[in-house]
Amino acid sequence: MAKYVLVYKGGGSMPQDDAERGAQLAAWGRWYDALGAGIVDGGNPFGPSAALAADGTASSGAPSGLTGYTILSADSLDAATELAKGCPILANGGSIEIYETFEIM
């Protein structure tokens, strides 16, 4: 099995109250439960970011707009893509990019 990183973009704003926060956490919990042993790293949301250019110039706020990640184990890119379809971020208007990772070290 290969490992795949799912990187999230968008997905709405942070929950404003405990009920909304609980509903979002429950949705993520159901998705993680469905993934079972396929989860390598459940990931986390991203906080403040910076971008670094080739000339060493740094700027506040990376332009990609990534909001978090999860790492899965799957038989193929197609299989990882199918697993990603249940991610709650999609229901909140976000999107997911899926990349196969290669262990070289």
What does the mean pLDDT of the chain come to? Answer: 92
- Tokens 């973009």 found at: 9
More confident residue, 103 or 35: 35
User: 17 pLDDT band (50/70/90 cuts)?
Assistant: confident
For the segment 35-57, the average pLDDT, to the nearest whole number, is 94
Amino acid (1-letter code) at residue 16: Q
Rounded to 10 degrees, what is the CA torsion of 73, 79, 81, 87?
Answer: -60
Per-residue pLDDT, 26:
93
Per-residue pLDDT, 41:
95
Which two tokens mark 78? Answer: 């197609």
> Per CATH, the architecture of 2-46+65-101 is what?
2-Layer Sandwich (3.30)
Residues of the chain with pLDDT > 70, as a percent, come to 97
Strand partners, 50: 60
Domain boundaries, the chain: 2-46+65-101
More confident residue, 94 or 20: 94
Which two tokens mark 83? Answer: 């697993």
